[in-house]
């Protein structure tokens, strides 16, 4: 069989980071091709190159589609040829109807007037192809997430799809919706359609894939022909994570004290869709002087857990108990959570962690204005002293404390966020992706700061998508999947394979029940 798609030698560089390094991908006509890899391996970047999100000229290498070299300037360009990508975050407009979403941007019109009869009739045909019986007039917001996913696929069919790309299509679906979606892919395959599915659910891949490409750290590690050899989960896990840990983490001898922070039977529902439970009976604890990690794939519920504990800054119908040093504490608002001794360093430092237009000094004092005030009025000298002190302690590289945080590098911005929360003098520091988007040197410095905090007797709860980081830093690791804690390991028991196995097995179990 001839390949419908060949990507050859694709290299994509962002400032300071090689996201893809000479990646090759070949997809046969009429096959389902799976792409596996850890968070950050480059899977989505590769698909953005293919679909024209990163236009021709911003990457090196060639895309051959249907035996011709192609250079797409944008998504519309690749869609003309029938390359349609459905992202994990669905791109539907909730307040428009199915039919309006279906033809948004390529409306069915006569003489410049939308022909609603034709649009509704065509929508019904397309919905029938994906097994939906809904009326074309139904608003998207009134559909469950599984049906929304099917509407996206019907929309792809409307654009005469030749190659359908699904990015983590079942990440937020329940078991029956996931099975329906996979059955639909197998049905399309019979009709000769080619698909690429990006997924970490190996049981689903085993069910539908004809071949699998594993990407790790931006390079192609292996391509497995599932028709020729049985799929070995262990081999795929090894290909996904196989790398060694060098001395990227400062050494530390933990001095672990008494129990400081406990969460019991914590539940929360989605902030927009109150019927969707995002956190399910989560219980965990951290002692003084201990660094505890939370591992999990995107969408496991780790950030939702951190934010809902930190003053209910996420979620609806949040329930459960939080204790500090054995006593129940009120964390129902952000101020109460801070008063209870909790600080949360967000993963989204640019939008939620900093006021970018303000200088370093103002950002550092933000979470503890009492600390730089007397009689309810900010004391500029005190504020300046505090900022200078943190700038020195955390080695923030800047022209001075009056430099705008907007103009700092990612690593230095992160140090300003850390300074802000350290100045609030918390007992528990929750760090969400503390080194995301930061170069290796700055990472080491941030790790050293985290170790120092633990040595001072603070408790640290660290969320990271980089497994080596958790393994290199943590005394204990909880593994989360689909809103639950599915495993707990000591540093000695934890390995990338064990964490991945806990995630994949728990996923398979929930779906069997």
Q: Are 454 and 460 in contact (CB under 8 A)?
A: yes
Could you tell me the pLDDT band of residue 238, with boundaries at 50, 70 and 90? confident
Q: Rounded CA gap, 457 and 372, in Å?
A: 24
Can you give the pLDDT at residue 245?
44
What global pTM score does this model have? 0.58
Can you give the pLDDT at residue 440?
58
Q: Which residues contact 191 (CB under 8 A, 6 or more apart)?
A: none
Q: Rounded CA gap, 455 and 423, in Å?
A: 17
Q: Rounded CA gap, 496 and 493, in Å?
A: 10
Q: Rounded CA gap, 471 and 245, in Å?
A: 9
Q: Which residues contact 440 (CB under 8 A, 6 or more apart)?
A: 248
Return the half-sphere exposure (C-beta side, CA atoms, 13 A cut-off) of residue 49. 31
How high is the mean pLDDT of the chain? 88
Distances (CA, A) of 219 to 87, 197, 232: 22, 18, 21
Segment 240-262 mean pLDDT: 79
Residue-range domains of the chain with CATH? 3-82+162-241 (3.40.50.300), 93-159 (no CATH), 255-341+426-513 (3.40.50.300), 352-424 (no CATH)
Least confident of 111-120, 343-352, 475-484, 499-508: 343-352
Share of the chain above pLDDT 70, in %: 95
Least confident of 141-155, 284-298, 319-333: 141-155
Segment 3-18 mean pLDDT: 88
Q: Are 461 and 292 in contact (CB under 8 A)?
A: yes
Q: Are 190 and 10 in contact (CB under 8 A)?
A: no
Measured over the CA atoms of residue 386, residue 388, residue 392 and residue 395, the dihedral's sign is positive
For residue 224, give the 3-state DSSP assignment: strand
Q: Rounded CA gap, 265 and 280, in Å?
A: 8
- Give the tokens for residue 288: 């003084």
Nearest to 431 by CA among 395, 405, 469: 469
| CB neighbours of residue 21 within 10 Å | 16
Residue 493 carries which DSSP code?
Answer: T
Measured over the CA atoms of residue 110, residue 113, residue 119 and residue 121, the dihedral's sign is negative
Can you give the pLDDT at residue 237?
75
Segment 377-394 mean pLDDT: 88
Q: Are 162 and 191 in contact (CB under 8 A)?
A: no
| DSSP assignments along 40-105, one per residue | TSSHHHHHHHHHTSS-TTSSEEEEEETTEEE--SSHHHHHHTTEEEE-SS----TTSBHHHHHTTT
For residue 334, give the 3-state DSSP assignment: helix
Nearest to 426 by CA among 309, 506, 513: 309
Can you give the pLDDT at residue 431?
93
Q: Are 91 and 151 in contact (CB under 8 A)?
A: no
Share of the chain above pLDDT 90, in %: 47
- Give the tokens for residue 136: 């074309």
Q: Are 208 and 186 in contact (CB under 8 A)?
A: yes
pLDDT, tens digit (0-9, with 9 covering 90-100), for 347-363: 777 777 788 888 889 88
pLDDT, tens digit (0-9, with 9 covering 90-100), for 398-444: 888 888 888 777 778 888 888 888 888 899 999 998 887 665 567 78
Distances (CA, A) of 505 to 126, 451, 500: 36, 32, 8
Can you give the pLDDT at residue 9?
95
Could you tell me the pLDDT band of residue 165, with boundaries at 50, 70 and 90? very high
Distances (CA, A) of 330 to 189, 419, 421, 461: 54, 25, 19, 19
- DSSP-assigned beta bridge partners for residue 196: 33, 165
pLDDT, tens digit (0-9, with 9 covering 90-100), for 173-209: 767 788 888 999 999 899 999 999 998 777 788 889 9
């Amino acid at each position: 069989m001839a390949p419908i798609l060949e990507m050859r030698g694709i290299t994509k560089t962002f400032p300071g980071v090689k996201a893809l390094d000479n990646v090759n991908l070949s997809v046969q006509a009429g096959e389902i091709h799976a792409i596996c890899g850890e968070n950050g391996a480059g899977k989505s970047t590769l698909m953005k190159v293919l679909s024209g999100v990163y236009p021709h000229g911003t990457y090196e290498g060639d895309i051959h589609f249907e035996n011709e070299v192609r250079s797409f300037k944008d998504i519309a360009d690749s869609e003309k040829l029938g390359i349609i990508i459905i992202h994990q975050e669905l791109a539907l407009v909730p307040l428009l109807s199915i039919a309006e979403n279906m033809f948004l941007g390529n409306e069915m019109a006569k003489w410049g007037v939308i022909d609603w009869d034709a649009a509704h009739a065509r929508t019904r045909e397309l919905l029938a192809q994906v097994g939906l019986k809904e009326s074309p007039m139904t608003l998207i917001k009134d559909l469950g997430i599984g049906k929304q996913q099917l509407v996206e696929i019907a929309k792809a069919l409307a654009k005469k799809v030749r190659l359908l790309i699904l990015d983590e299509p079942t990440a937020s679906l329940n078991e029956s919706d996931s099975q329906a979606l996979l059955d639909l892919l197998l049905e399309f395959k019979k009709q000769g359609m080619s698909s690429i599915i990006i997924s970490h659910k190996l049981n689903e891949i085993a069910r539908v894939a004809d071949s699998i490409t594993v990407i790790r750290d931006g390079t192609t590690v292996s391509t497995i022909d599932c028709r020729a050899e049985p799929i070995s989960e262990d081999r795929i896990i090894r290909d996904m994570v196989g790398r060694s840990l060098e001395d990227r983490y400062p050494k530390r001898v933990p001095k672990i004290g008494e129990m400081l922070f406990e969460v019991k039977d914590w539940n929360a529902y989605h902030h927009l869709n109150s019927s969707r439970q995002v956190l399910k009976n989560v219980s965990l604890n951290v002692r003084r002087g201990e660094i505890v990690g939370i591992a999990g794939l995107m969408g496991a519920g780790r950030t939702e857990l951190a934010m809902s504990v930190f003053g209910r800054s996420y979620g609806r119908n949040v329930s459960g108990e939080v204790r500090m040093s054995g006593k129940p504490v009120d964390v129902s608002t952000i101020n109460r959570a801070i008063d209870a001794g909790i600080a949360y360093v967000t993963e989204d430092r640019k939008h939620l962690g900093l006021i970018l237009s303000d200088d370093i000094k103002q950002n550092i004092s933000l979470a503890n204005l009492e600390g730089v005030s007397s009689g309810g009025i900010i004391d500029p000298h005190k504020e300046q002293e505090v900022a200078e002190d943190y700038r020195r302690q955390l080695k923030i590289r800047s022209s001075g404390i009056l430099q705008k945080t907007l103009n700092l590098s990612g690593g230095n911005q992160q140090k300003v966020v850390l300074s802000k929360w350290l100045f609030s003098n918390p007992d528990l520091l929750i760090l969400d992706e503390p080194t995301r988007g930061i170069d290796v040197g700055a990472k080491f410095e941030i790790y050293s700061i985290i170790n120092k905090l633990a040595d001072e007797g603070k408790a640290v709860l660290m969320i990271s998508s980089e497994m080596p980081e958790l393994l290199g830093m943590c005394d204990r690791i909880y593994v989360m999947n689909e809103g639950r804690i599915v495993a707990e390991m000591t540093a000695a028991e934890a390995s990338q394979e064990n964490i991945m196995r806990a995630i994949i097995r728990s996923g398979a179990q929930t779906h069997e029940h």
